[in-house]
Structure 1
Amino acid sequence: MSGIGTSGQAGEGRVKNAILIAGPTASGKSALALDLAERQGGIIVNTDSMQGYSVLDVLTARPGSTDLARAPHHLYGHVHPSVAYSTGAWLRDVTKLIEDGLLAERPVGTFVERPVIFVGGTGLYFRALAEGISDMPGIPTAIRDRWRYELKEQGAERLHRILMREDSAVGMQLRPTDGQRIVRALEVLDASGRSIAEWQAARGRPLIDRSSARFLVIEPDRAELVGRIETRFDRMLDVGALDEVRELLALNLDPDLPAMKAIGVRELQAAMAGQSSFPEAIERAKIATRQYAKRQATWFRHQLGPEWRRLHVAGGAMPAI
């Protein structure tokens, strides 16, 4: 990775003065990022795994056209749902933004580069950004297709037994039902002859300059967050969520792909197929969203270090930073 060679972005391609904003779904983090971007002339970079997929504009609460016009946004809706997008792929996309100079833009008539604001709810993206990630091997298409076929034909538990035989140290760390991670471990071992644990142990370097970065995590009031989730899903239905599900289903994708597991897809699909009523499907989607937000908040609370400033938000007010 080459250096940026400018005053604002420095350190062998690392982004200087970055602002990282993490938070659970529906916590208001995107609104905060947009407010900062407008006030400081910033650039926003998506740091959420689901908002990277195309088609799912509404169901992933991706910024709309009005928001996109208010500040530069990158890595939103750029991945086809047929792709199993990974943390490593996201990090490579951020690296390309840096190398192409897209994160070193200057507003017209100024000599100061725009601050780069990374915002989202995917904890592993933030960890990779701030701490680096191992450089995993490329997987030939034939090997990737083989193990995905085996998963479909034999099931996750059978593949887990294979992994336990071939790489027991990794196998013991994975649930026998976690098909995606089991397949990932097997395909890396097959393609490289090395355990995925060996690759993961070899950390890369951060893409941001940690000493100049600002780390922010939103911790919303729980009751208010539940209300926001309920209201937001109702609004999603009003502005095209069902149409998105129809469009996604028309692609005839593997149901195990990450995009097919976006909250709301399976629930609304079941209602459209007559397997449940729409009120039942809506309630299930809201419950799933609340559960997801709780998992995110727990991860942020236990996995993010002391450098992260906790923003306790209540009353719907924008946090002062």
Structure 2
Amino acid sequence: MAKPKVLFIMGPTASGKTDLALQLADQHESAIISVDSALIYRGMDIGTAKPDAATLARYPHALVDILDPTQAYSAADFVADASREIDQAVAQNRLPILVGGTILYFKALADGLAKLPEADPQLRSELEAEAAQLGWPAMHAKLAELDPLSGARLKPKDSQRIQRALEVVLLTGRSIETFWQEQAEKVLPWDIVPLALMPGDRAELHRRIALRYDLMLEQGFQSEVEALRARGDLSLNLPSMRCVGYRQMWQYLDGELSAQEAREKAIVATRQLAKRQMTWIRGWQGAVHLDSLRNSEQLLAQTLRQI
């Protein structure tokens, strides 16, 4: 008996993933499941380019607006939640369409997760305090000494991954890299159809990124971040506030950056994110690459042929 198909729509930011998913939903009895580490948060709408309320009402997206920005969410959480949503869609004879740009989540679902030790809240607090005092480049140097493999792989400003790698090596005496290498192959109950929306023109993608950020500003992104800051329980140490755009706007509101600097840094950070996403996707074996800059009818026709 053939396994049910599950469609992955992966791509860099501003590549038109959501638009394609909505067009597919008009053609197929389907269930859209978000694969985005920012869209999970309530109250973070403009800066994440979250579909508006009318769109979400017409095309419900699972795993959108499921957490408060104070809460953490891991790849393991995603795998559990997405697996449940996929099974539910399959039981209802709907095509699961997983769409987003958090490639780590896609890989965790497809390949399985390494059996990493659980986070230790006390150790995490100690590392955060140390980082606040010394800075993340110093923490990166510490990691390079304790775990040369991770130190070589991670960049000095990659605070989230540096912190996790330090936690693992301090808790276990082992490099996090060795856990990844032991990762077990997963036998999935579905057949994954991986589609990669990859822009054929890098300059056009960069233009779209800049236009989208300026549109966010027009839509009230500054007010959105002001409201988040006013809560008093959020900070730049939280994963939610490290999201591209939010960090730079927060720094502007703190007086660390001018408005122009915040805009430029946010756009550059988004370009860098897109570059990382494309690097991950290029390494995905068997992915069907589609030029995301083609007209939407061509893109839809190409996608329908895959399913």
**Is 1:150 aligned to residue 138 of structure 2?**
no
**Is 1:119 aligned to residue 107 of structure 2?**
no
SS at match of 1:45: strand
**Is 1:62 aligned to residue 42 of structure 2?**
no
**Is 1:185 aligned to residue 165 of structure 2?**
yes
Alpha-carbon offset, residue 161 of structure 1: 4.8
SS at match of 1:51: coil
**Is 1:260 aligned to residue 241 of structure 2?**
yes
SS at match of 2:5: coil
Alpha-carbon offset, residue 96 of structure 1: 4.2
Q: Residues 144 and 151 of structure 2 are in contact (CA less than 8 Å); yes or no, is this contact kept in structure 1?
A: yes
Alpha-carbon offset, residue 30 of structure 1: 0.6
1-structure distance, mates of 2:148, 2:60: 46
1-structure distance, mates of 2:175, 2:238: 24
Counterpart of 2:220 (choices 230, 240, 248) is 240
The letter for the 2-side match of 1:118 is: L
Q: Deviations over 1:16-63 (max 9, x none)?
A: 300000111111111111111232121111112222222211111112
Alpha-carbon offset, residue 216 of structure 1: 0.7
Q: Deviations over 1:279-298 (max 9, x none)?
A: 45334433432333233223
1-structure distance, mates of 2:247, 2:129: 22
Alpha-carbon offset, residue 255 of structure 1: 1.5
The letter for the 2-side match of 1:215 is: P
SS at match of 1:118: strand
1-structure distance, mates of 2:250, 2:15: 26
1-structure distance, mates of 2:189, 2:35: 17
SS at match of 1:215: strand
Counterpart of 2:284 (choices 295, 298, 304) is 304
The letter for the 1-side match of 2:290 is: L
**Is 1:219 aligned to residue 205 of structure 2?**
no
Structure 2, unaligned runs of 5 or more: none
Q: Residues 57 and 77 of structure 1 are in contact (CA less than 8 Å); yes or no, is this contact kept in structure 2?
A: no
Alpha-carbon offset, residue 217 of structure 1: 0.7
1-structure distance, mates of 2:152, 2:260: 41
2-structure distance, mates of 1:63, 1:162: 41
Q: Residues 46 and 74 of structure 1 are in contact (CA less than 8 Å); yes or no, is this contact kept in structure 2?
A: yes
Output the aligned Cα RMSD: 2.9
Cα separation, partners in 2 of 1:166 and 1:105, compared to 1, 3 Å: same
Greater helix fraction, Structure 1 or Structure 2: 2
1:228 matched residue in structure 2? 208
Structure 1, unaligned runs of 5 or more: 1-6, 11-15, 107-112
Q: Deviations over 1:248-292 (max 9, x none)?
A: 222443423332222222333344445555345334433432333
2-structure distance, mates of 1:274, 1:162: 30
1:80 matched residue in structure 2? 68
The letter for the 2-side match of 1:88 is: A
Q: Residues 263 and 288 of structure 1 are in contact (CA less than 8 Å); yes or no, is this contact kept in structure 2?
A: yes
Answer with 127-136 or 75-84: which moved more. Answer: 75-84
Q: Residues 44 and 116 of structure 1 are in contact (CA less than 8 Å); yes or no, is this contact kept in structure 2?
A: yes
1-structure distance, mates of 2:157, 2:96: 39
Q: TM-score by structure 1 length?
A: 0.80
2-structure distance, mates of 1:293, 1:86: 21
**Is 1:103 aligned to residue 83 of structure 2?**
no
2-structure distance, mates of 1:31, 1:207: 31
1-structure distance, mates of 2:89, 2:187: 12
SS at match of 2:197: strand
2-structure distance, mates of 1:89, 1:195: 22
Counterpart of 1:203 (choices 159, 162, 183) is 183
1-structure distance, mates of 2:19, 2:84: 26
Answer with 67-76 or 249-258: which moved more. Answer: 249-258
SS at match of 1:230: helix
Cα separation, partners in 2 of 1:312 and 1:162, compared to 1, 3 Å: closer
Q: Residues 133 and 205 of structure 1 are in contact (CA less than 8 Å); yes or no, is this contact kept in structure 2?
A: no
1-structure distance, mates of 2:227, 2:289: 39
2-structure distance, mates of 1:172, 1:294: 19
Percent identity of equivalent pairs: 38
1-structure distance, mates of 2:159, 2:253: 27
**Is 1:317 aligned to residue 267 of structure 2?**
no
SS at match of 1:289: helix
1:109 matched residue in structure 2? none
Q: TM-score by structure 2 length?
A: 0.83
Cα separation, partners in 2 of 1:154 and 1:27, compared to 1, 3 Å: same
Counterpart of 2:275 (choices 274, 294, 310) is 294
Within-5 A mapping of 1:132-151: 132-151=112-131
